[in-house]
Structure 1
């Protein structure tokens, strides 16, 4: 005797339902979480690129201002007086047009034989002009003018040749012909002694300037601008308007730092951080960019959590469904045992069939379908709650797809329960059904399946059958329905139903021109919940052929299949002529 499952035991079908539910929940949560992470990262990258772009663009504007000063010097024959320089800078409106800049000035390049003439020219412009500090270099590079002068008066007369950083960048601009900046320095006019730098553009006398020697021979000084890095960054974009903080290093020396814990928006554990290297006018600046608390506040998306909560609710319903199924199964087994004890003298087959039909039908219609409808209702609520989001232009189409997937799986669960109900209802119905007119049956199948008359053809001299036609119709409907469902469309659909009178039995065959079935699967396809469905074929419960097999075997026969891939399939079986003459096993086609 076949062993019965333990009362309340979780069956493979239960595990499939649980796994499917977990899979849907996990997929939706992971997908929305991943999409949210991508969006947040893109926002960080946009903020990062904005900071980098602002620095590059602002430095390019400052460079333009320097070259404008060089052009002004050239227009005056290669040099200017203090009054001319002041007039030029007033027209430039340095403070308004170039925020973050400390000023703009002129540095003259002097050899020892040029010093007296230079001092005479400066003496005409000012009561007192002094070059400082003393040094041993063979040339001088004093700051002659700088505007606005009031804020930068401490720098007037400073000989930048006295200090390596200032001198090397100025000489680099001379030798290359390009604008250059210094390494980190402290400006003499900066009372706070914070890191700064100088920005140079070279001034030349008349050319040519094709070679290094020619540029050195023609070099007369630079137009320059001093910068305090703190002021430069304040001029770029105020901290409270940014969602990232930045520190800047030059040659391993930090010249600007917003990562200090004292900052109001400092985040000890930033969501994103990245280092960017900028090649700027002969120097390399390394930018350490990190998200701050404003970024965290504006990018705390709860959508993945909402989906996870919804998924958990679905899981609760699924688990409740499984528990109800297990309890119902326990009740069904107990009831079956009770009936078995009372009717032990009856045939075991009749008892088993009655128990399956009456008790399992109760399980399906009452204990299973109600929770399934509950899951479907929850999916509808989710779709309704997310309707505004799904219809927005920024909506992720995969969200709608995932919710639709829940609907599809609920429908599959409903189909499974219906198929199980059908399977449980298979029993002999001799004398309880009406005769089956084969021609009328085929005509109704053509109409029901929306086929053309030449797509489903009956080939038989037999017209009427009267033995258990309820189950016979069920067998034929499943075989014909499968042939239609799994036809691959490569050739026009053709199904042929043949019936031969064998005396005590009728030999049936249903042949199609579909994709065929590999010999390896000829037994597997008749098992419960087994299907050869691929991703491009319709959903299947895997119950139809099990129904066919059970119905035929109930009448003493067996179903056989002849099929190879690409050659269609032919299913054949024998059916008894009447209730008193069931077919012998040896007569199966």
Structure 2
């Protein structure tokens, strides 16, 4: 296999790598934008879910406040609470407007059977048709004495809540705790629909506020309560037409409210998001099952990821076209180089002319490559304009703006790669600086100025004042080594770089040492290869050509470069450089 064939094979592998990386970038951008859109949609679901939960908790808190105001009313009047005074109190609450979802507000009194006659006498004095029902064998009664509005709750007046377990258990728990309490699921006697409901209790006591369980039981006088039909409670929260989520409620194992029926309007058989939340609701555990509906799905369907994928694939086609052009150009360059090499073997005086012709060819190829690169940049601008016409200013869609900017950044990187390839091809040209001497101190001053660092950052000790051979490439080598030391330093402001040039008689030995993070041993050879970089994560961008240029420039003069470094302990690059042209020719003959 000829050297030209080997080179063509390397270039083909490079092309495959470039195409693969470009395709990975496109797919990565698509997946990233899709993930960002999904995160936005999920956050909207979380907001809708939290709003629903907060409405339930807030509304129950408001109902509790109303019940405690009833307790305050009872504490104020004591035994003088009458049907008329209770009706006046309930009307002042404006229940239908301020507390939608509640059936009413009532008073349940604790009656020992020994005091039943006195209790009934008090009711007769109010000239009311009042009776207690149903009969039971307990030694105390808990009749509903008053409830307003009475017209819609008449069936509940006189009901003894002690007769039924859930009603009685919740009330006694409220008595013992001294706090608000709701019952387990029940059916209200005044609910003709016979749907799940519950009672909400707040206790009151005779005399001063009790401080212990025994005092609360001894001085318990009754509760202020509110009856609820769960269906009406939810309707009072927020109309389903104004929500893009649906939910169900369970008290323990019993379903007390359900919006997940397939016959429900806007029901989604495969909701985008679901979640369950457990609420400690005044002594009961309510499980809220929240799911998105068809309205949520319609409002949260976005085509941005697909637009990005389509745009990326178009760019991918342009990149492949560009690489095909590059492959053809390289093949032509290799064939041309082979022809020139044959002539140069017998006509060494034509060497510089041939190099100039190759350099000119690289410039032409580079110019040809700029056209598709500019086309990619133009396409990015067109995509941005089209997207703004579809979805508005991209400032409101940072994820899309980020992907467009990423495309532009990759176009800029392609330009940098093209420039780097041109510079790599020109390493070794010395005609322009033949006979020129490079001041070592001036070189260090220029590096300090170019990299905008403090003068103390780069320290130099040198046995020679001038570099007298191939000064142009020597400057290029030093600028790359010092630049890399600063570029990859974790904190360039406090970096310390030491440059030493030692005269060994036959040649110069140069060392560039830094105090950065260092380079692991397994990468010491890799970093000198073309297009190889150790950049990770959000580290500085690199074309991977700088150190390849350094090595090529040094090897063109018959020497090599080596690295001493370990991870976390800085890096030191050392190389030899000829003192004059005679020394360079000797070294080149030794290499040959």
- The TM tier, using the shorter chain, reads 0.7 to 0.9
Q: Deviations over 1:321-354 (max 9, x none)?
A: 23333344455556667x5899799679969968
Equivalent position of 1:24 in the other structure:
25
2:282 corresponds to 1:281:
yes
CA shift at 1:12, angstroms? 3.4
Instruction: Report how many aligned residue pairs link the two structures.
Output: 569
Where do residues 164-179 of structure 1 align in structure 2 (5 Å cutoff)? 164-179=165-180
Equivalent position of 1:529 in the other structure:
531
Equivalent position of 2:46 in the other structure:
45
CA shift at 1:32, angstroms? 3.3
Equivalent position of 1:244 in the other structure:
245
- Indicate the SS of the match to 1:15: helix
- Indicate the SS of the match to 1:4: helix
2:378 corresponds to 1:377:
yes
- Indicate the SS of the match to 1:226: strand
CA shift at 1:275, angstroms? 1.4
CA shift at 1:476, angstroms? 2.0
- Indicate the SS of the match to 1:254: strand
Q: Deviations over 1:438-492 (max 9, x none)?
A: 1589969966984689988997588977xxxxxx354223213224313446567
Q: Distance in 2 between matches of 1:46 and 1:216?
A: 44
CA shift at 1:230, angstroms? 0.9
- Indicate the SS of the match to 1:136: coil
- Indicate the SS of the match to 1:246: strand
CA gap 1:300/1:177 in 2 versus in 1, 3 angstroms: same
Q: Which runs of 5+ in 1 are unaligned?
A: 466-471
TM-score by length of 1: 0.80
Q: Is the 8 A contact 1:8 1:326 kept in 2?
A: no
Q: Is the 8 A contact 2:499 2:511 kept in 1?
A: yes
Equivalent position of 1:469 in the other structure:
none
2:576 corresponds to 1:572:
yes
Q: Distance in 1 between matches of 2:464 and 2:211?
A: 103
Where do residues 422-433 of structure 1 align in structure 2 (5 Å cutoff)? 422-425=423-426
Q: Distance in 1 between matches of 2:39 and 2:342?
A: 67
Q: Is the 8 A contact 2:276 2:288 kept in 1?
A: yes
CA gap 1:56/1:545 in 2 versus in 1, 3 angstroms: closer
CA gap 1:293/1:428 in 2 versus in 1, 3 angstroms: closer
2:440 corresponds to 1:437:
no
Q: Is the 8 A contact 2:477 2:553 kept in 1?
A: no
CA shift at 1:193, angstroms? 1.0
CA gap 1:371/1:171 in 2 versus in 1, 3 angstroms: same
Equivalent position of 2:12 in the other structure:
11
Q: Is the 8 A contact 2:417 2:543 kept in 1?
A: yes
Q: Distance in 2 between matches of 1:243 and 1:135?
A: 48
Q: Rg larger in 1 or in 2?
A: 1
Q: Is the 8 A contact 1:479 1:510 kept in 2?
A: no
CA shift at 1:531, angstroms? 5.1
Equivalent position of 2:198 in the other structure:
197
Q: Distance in 2 between matches of 1:530 and 1:174?
A: 77
Q: Distance in 2 between matches of 1:75 and 1:537?
A: 73
Q: Distance in 2 between matches of 1:65 and 1:535?
A: 58
Where do residues 482-493 of structure 1 align in structure 2 (5 Å cutoff)? 482-488=480-486
2:413 corresponds to 1:412:
yes
Q: Distance in 2 between matches of 1:156 and 1:290?
A: 39
More moved, 281-290 vs 62-71 = 62-71
2:581 corresponds to 1:583:
no
Q: Is the 8 A contact 1:480 1:510 kept in 2?
A: no
CA gap 1:260/1:126 in 2 versus in 1, 3 angstroms: farther
Q: Is the 8 A contact 1:462 1:500 kept in 2?
A: no
2:232 corresponds to 1:231:
yes
Q: Which runs of 5+ in 2 are unaligned?
A: 487-491
Q: Distance in 2 between matches of 1:330 and 1:93?
A: 90
Q: Distance in 1 between matches of 2:563 and 2:233?
A: 84
- Indicate the SS of the match to 2:45: helix
Q: Distance in 1 between matches of 2:92 and 2:13?
A: 86
Equivalent position of 1:468 in the other structure:
none
TM-score by length of 2: 0.80
Q: Distance in 2 between matches of 1:519 and 1:6?
A: 28
2:148 corresponds to 1:147:
yes
CA shift at 1:79, angstroms? 4.6
More moved, 229-238 vs 521-530 = 521-530
Q: Distance in 1 between matches of 2:266 and 2:176?
A: 44
Q: Is the 8 A contact 1:483 1:514 kept in 2?
A: no
Equivalent position of 2:365 in the other structure:
363
More moved, 511-520 vs 43-52 = 511-520
2:266 corresponds to 1:265:
yes
Q: Distance in 2 between matches of 1:123 and 1:521?
A: 100
Q: Is the 8 A contact 2:124 2:130 kept in 1?
A: yes
CA gap 1:448/1:289 in 2 versus in 1, 3 angstroms: closer
CA shift at 1:149, angstroms? 1.4
CA shift at 1:259, angstroms? 1.1
CA gap 1:134/1:443 in 2 versus in 1, 3 angstroms: closer
CA gap 1:214/1:419 in 2 versus in 1, 3 angstroms: closer
More moved, 441-450 vs 173-182 = 441-450
Equivalent position of 1:160 in the other structure:
161
Q: Is the 8 A contact 1:496 1:512 kept in 2?
A: yes
Equivalent position of 2:312 in the other structure:
311
Equivalent position of 1:100 in the other structure:
101
More moved, 80-89 vs 134-143 = 134-143
Q: Distance in 1 between matches of 2:521 and 2:269?
A: 65
CA gap 1:103/1:375 in 2 versus in 1, 3 angstroms: same
Q: Distance in 2 between matches of 1:67 and 1:519?
A: 75
More moved, 434-443 vs 339-348 = 339-348
Equivalent position of 2:257 in the other structure:
256
Q: Deviations over 1:209-251 (max 9, x none)?
A: 3444443333333322211111111111111122221111112
Q: Deviations over 1:374-412 (max 9, x none)?
A: 2233345556677875645xx64x766655554444333
2:478 corresponds to 1:480:
yes
Equivalent position of 1:215 in the other structure:
216
